[in-house]
Structure 1
């Protein structure tokens, strides 16, 4: 699903990507919060698919760095996650358990509770347990 948000003008390049590690407290008091950081989720990676043109210089400036902000359309990128199931196939939808991150490093930030497996990357053994490393689309 495409999301319209704001990024700094130097960052606004089609196919560019960025990760939201956490949302700074200062963003919460910005009048643009709802159309900027309010639409993004910590721990997720977003890819810019369109830069919306502005007819005039942007009146929007970031409170944190003072950069000119421009509207862009982004898509959430898939995550690489461990999944512990008896078997995994592409297309399966499953709940995600954060305890599965003990043997494989998970992305930082808020992890999804439900994912759809897009691609099975590899099978791994961790102690007595078998995990699958997958590319997954967050569903929440």
Structure 2
């Protein structure tokens, strides 16, 4: 669970309050508080306030209201992964096997990113394939050196495929 110090409105500065960052307005990017406010958060991800810090009286450039520093924990993402990857505690590479269904995380997670499965919630079908609905965290993005010529991730941790003659 990643913890981030960020700024929220006084109304949101309540322990246990959950919020999701849908997008970041352009006006925020030119604000002097951007780096400690929305600049630390990722669109599409959800967070929960776990600690409130003393207010320094800063005001939001857009709303004009006071913002309060808080410690927010990134919440797990709920999405679909193939059944063979759905093992609690497993760290796997998201390869975008499921696209376009209601619970597909392809708008939040990019192919090649490592994810850690936290909990398996159930099973579902997507485009005639079985998938597991899971909670997971994104661990890291692939390094540029791990991207192939066409921009696909090459997972070097997999053993080579051995071909044996059939007898």
For CA contacts below 8 A with separation 6 or more, give which structure has more relative contact order. 1
TM-score (norm 2): 0.74
In the alignment, structure 1 residue 62 sits paired with structure 2 residue 63: no
SS of the residue corresponding to residue 39 of structure 2 reads helix
Query: Cα distance, 1:107 vs. partner?
Result: 5.8
Contact persistence 2:58–2:67 (CA under 8 A) = yes
The equivalent of 2:128 in structure 1 is 128
Cα shift readout 1:55-79 (whole Å, capped 9, x = no counterpart): xxx4311111111011000000001
Query: Cα distance, 1:16 vs. partner?
Result: 0.3
Report 1:90-129 matches (<5 A). 90-98=88-96, 100-106=98-104, 110-111=108-109, 113-129=113-129
TM-score (norm 1): 0.87
Cα shift readout 1:16-47 (whole Å, capped 9, x = no counterpart): 01100011110000000000011000000000
Query: Cα distance, 1:99 vs. partner?
Result: 5.0
Q: Highest Rg: 1 or 2?
A: 2
Contact persistence 1:93–1:114 (CA under 8 A) = yes
Q: How many residues align?
A: 137
SS of the residue corresponding to residue 120 of structure 2 reads strand
Quick check: which one's strand share is greater?
1
Q: Any stretches of 5+ residues in structure 2 without a counterpart?
A: 141-167
**Quick one: distance in 2 between partners of 1:13 and 1:129?**
42
- 1:69–1:82 CA distance, 2 compared to 1 (3 A): same
Cα RMSD for the two superposed structures = 1.9
Moved over 6 A (4+): none
Query: Cα distance, 1:92 vs. partner?
Result: 0.8
Query: Cα distance, 1:108 vs. partner?
Result: 8.6
Q: Any stretches of 5+ residues in structure 1 without a counterpart?
A: none
